[in-house]
């Protein structure tokens, strides 16, 4: 799927900002200056403004237990003005406490968030405000550009721009409502009694279906069950012995199956509880250093794609939410490029059944799949 950035048009203004005729230290330097001026506080927001003909940055910082520190930074010289302190209303503290609890996991700062947002925006866009907030269940930077005409969300942990596709956008992942996804998944699981490796929603001829892949340790085979997203009916079952390349791709996940205590359906239910109105694209077992997790891919009813990671080996599944990373379908090894590595994977399964490399969906790797891969070539 072609990546598309998370851009929201919030006002009917021009998408091309007029560059100010001022020297500008930038958001990263402004953030550093604000922290230096209020060392006892945590930075939450930086906004660029024109005050009495002077370009400045206004920074808001939180100081325990309930104080807001405001610092004004000269955007030309970087000099900080006097720190102004005011009390924060009680109703505003809850969201700040949530931000503070998640902030230690952040890997990027205000300047990095602005860089990512600008890179994902139309040419010429300029940021005017960046603030930490809880967006869609994750700690994100909300970056406003072009005098609030554009809004871009940047995941504070992964640095990913949150993909947003809007209503009816063809670039979104195929997905079905959670109840339909769950019914189709439960039907497939009941049909085999085998452990799930992944399940993915597909839309074909305007009809939703789920392709669930299982591991049969006794036979050493992979099993794919196709079930209807409309009524859970089993449409097809295919078993095959994986090639060496296929087996290598899932070896880590097969190795952790014995420690999985939360099944795919329970992981889906956990994600659905967080986003009950979302539609769902997939559930996939992942082997991480901290243990096995389920990656549940969903699209909110606002059109934002998110990944919910659910512990697969916990008595009460814990979860975390992150911005989705979207890859072109032809990027078979998910390294961000379509190149010789992907070509080698495709050719290694020539004439065989491989759901990952089967780009045209005809259940066999042929020249049609090769053509699609070469057409998406991005070394």
What per-residue string of b and e applies to 244-277 under the rule 16 or more CB within 10 Å gives b?
ebbeebbeebbebbeebebbbbebbbbbbebbee
Range(s) of the domain holding residue 316: 176-323
**pLDDT score at 11:** 35
Are the beta carbons of 103 and 139 closer than 8 angstroms? yes
Distance CA 350, CA 328 (A): 20
Residues 199 and 104 in one domain: no
Secondary structure, 3-state, 42-66: EEEEEEEEEECCEEEEEEEEEECCC
d(CA 188, CA 233): 9
In this predicted model, what pLDDT tens digit does every residue of 11-60 receive, in sequence order?
333 333 444 456 799 999 999 999 999 999 999 999 999 998 899 999 99
Residue at 333 is within a domain: no
Same domain, 63 and 27: yes
Residue 196: CA count within 13 A, CB half-sphere = 30
Residues 99 and 210 in one domain: no
Asked whether residue 49 falls in the same domain as residue 125, the answer is yes
Give the domain-ending residue among 106, 125, 155: 155
pLDDT for 203: 86
Please report the pLDDT score of residue 171 as a whole number.
61
Question: What pLDDT is stored for residue 357 in this prediction?
Answer: 86
Q: What is the pTM of this model?
A: 0.78
Q: Domains in the chain: how many in total?
A: 2
**pLDDT digit string, tens, across residues 298-354:** 999 888 899 999 999 987 778 899 988 777 888 888 777 889 988 998 998 899 888
Tens-place pLDDT, residues 185-213: 999 999 999 999 999 999 877 789 999 99
104 and 186 in a single domain? The answer is no
């Amino acid at each position: 799927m072609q990546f598309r950035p998370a851009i929201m048009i919030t006002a009917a203004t021009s998408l091309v900002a007029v560059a100010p005729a001022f020297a500008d230290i930038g958001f990263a330097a402004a953030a550093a200056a604000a922290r230096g001026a209020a060392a006892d506080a945590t930075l939450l927001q930086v906004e660029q403004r024109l005050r009495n003909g002077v370009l400045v940055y206004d920074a808001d910082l939180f100081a325990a237990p309930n104080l807001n520190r405001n610092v004004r930074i000269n955007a030309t010289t970087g000099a900080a003005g006097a720190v102004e302190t005011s009390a924060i209303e009680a109703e505003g503290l809850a969201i700040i406490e949530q931000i503070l609890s998640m902030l230690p996991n952040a890997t990027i700062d205000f300047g990095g968030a602005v860089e990512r947002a600008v890179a994902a925006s139309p040419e010429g866009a300029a940021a005017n405000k960046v603030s930490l907030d809880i967006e869609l269940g994750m700690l994100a930077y909300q970056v406003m550009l072009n005098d609030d005409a554009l809004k871009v969300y940047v995941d504070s942990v992964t640095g990913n721009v949150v993909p947003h596709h809007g209503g009816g956008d063809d670039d979104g992942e195929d997905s079905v409502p959670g109840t339909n996804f769950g019914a189709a998944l439960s039907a497939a699981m009941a049909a085999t009694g085998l452990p799930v490796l992944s399940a993915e929603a597909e839309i074909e001829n305007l009809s939703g279906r789920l392709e669930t892949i299982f591991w049969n340790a006794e036979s050493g085979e992979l099993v794919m069950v196709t079930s209807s997203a409309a009524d859970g009916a089993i449409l097809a079952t295919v078993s095959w012995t994986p090639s060496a390349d296929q087996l290598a791709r899932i070896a880590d996940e097969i190795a952790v199956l014995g420690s999985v205590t939360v099944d795919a359906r329970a992981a889906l239910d956990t994600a659905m509880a967080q986003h009950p109105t979302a539609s769902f694209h997939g559930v996939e077992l992942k082997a991480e250093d901290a243990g096995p997790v389920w990656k549940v891919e969903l699209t909110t009813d606002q059109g934002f794609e998110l990944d919910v990671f659910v512990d697969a080996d916990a008595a009460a599944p814990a979860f975390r939410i992150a911005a989705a990373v979207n890859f072109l379908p032809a990027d078979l090894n998910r390294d961000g490029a379509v190149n010789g590595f992907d070509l080698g994977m495709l050719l290694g399964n020539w004439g065989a059944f491989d759901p990952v490399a089967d780009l045209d969906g005809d259940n066999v790797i042929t020249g049609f799949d090769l053509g699609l891969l070469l057409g998406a070539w991005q070394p």
